[in-house]
Chains A and B, each alone.
Chain A
């Protein structure tokens, strides 16, 4: 399988490891990723929130760059996904309004969890798991932008999504039932109003702990950074809640290793995953 790939800016900066894990598991699953040539920033929330024209034209340029290849576009970042979808819809409706002669490619824009939760990919994951995640109780956290607004994202179960649960189940973790799966963490406000981000993140993490989760998993680089960085360590909480990328868990389960350099990028100790992988490894050796 061959796909166009739009990493987005976060995956070249704060979430560089997300990009590495996406590429690693796609190699393992025999999926070829072709980066969109000379892609640019999608504008994220800041563009559409303050300037409609710029907020549409930035993601549109990427679609026009991807049009010739006309392969489905795989997007790991929830914000990029939503902006590309918005631009794609608008451009299909009225290309000349945006100074484009014609725009009707076959390509679809696919968010990573929707892709990984396809039946054939789940089957491949189950088959290729080397170290299953030992029933690790985990809270699947979707946040906002891969789901909302469904008139833009075309998400089916936008209030009760299941893709992350299906993915982590396939690699041997145990998703918990909890309340805040699609609540906003206020990533777009986190720098200017950290007090709001701390309140929202606090509520989300408390809900995940209440449900018995030992870790969270997400598919959004802003959620990952925000939820790890805005947990208030000085409040005397015994242990923070690490937030993993779904692809990070998959890479660990498929390769059977969770390297120290990957552990180091977390702001909250990811020991819980390192221990699960180490345990699984000991059990494998015992039974060998």
Chain B
């Protein structure tokens, strides 16, 4: 952390209320550090996991939403599993990513949300993940056209990537889910 001065004026009460509504009790952290020490990707984070929890407890939403850590987290749940106070730390990361996207904040790791959106785009369209469509969409959006080309060709030749999407019958229900069912109530 380059800036260690935190002002209560920057505390986001709305963010703290959101965490409360999702039973994510960041105030329960007594800074034992088990979350940070077990994180498999911690070496790549700008804020370590415990710092994320602590900044959340201080309501420092903006700093967290601009961090690399929230995008590099792989949702492996090691932190939440080992937290002696059972703080849902992986759930906190989910809230932060969703808020960053809803607020249109430029993500510190732009390719990662692009991947998630490409994946979900294919699910929203077909009801099931369609690997080739998802990969093509991600490649175009991210501009990473050549990365993993050899791997992709090799997987295709091995019959692992199917040319035709599997589609489900209840696509209208999937459409309803993706069009924001439930969010009418500001959830």
Contacts and interface: CB of A to CB of B under 8 A. Distances in A.
Given A40-B174, A193-B109, A196-B44, A16 B159 contact: yes
In order of increasing CB-CB distance, the 9 nearest A-B pairs are A184-B76, A148-B77, A9-B129, A46-B116, A192-B111, A46-B119, A144-B76, A149-B77, A184-B40
A48 interface: yes
Contacts, number: 167
A128 B19 CA distance: 52
A47 B86 CA distance: 23
Interface residues of A, number: 56
Interface string B67-105: 000001011111011000010101001110110010000
Nearest to B22: A52
A23 to B, nearest CB: 17
A12 B123 contact: no
A117 B144 CA distance: 43
**B: interface residue count bin:** 35 or more
B123 A43 contact: yes
Contacts of B22: 52
Contacts of A43: 120, 123
Contacts of A52: 22, 94-95, 98, 187
B154 A194 contact: no
B180 interface: yes
B170 interface: yes
B75 A45 contact: yes
A194 B75 contact: no
A85 B173 CA distance: 21
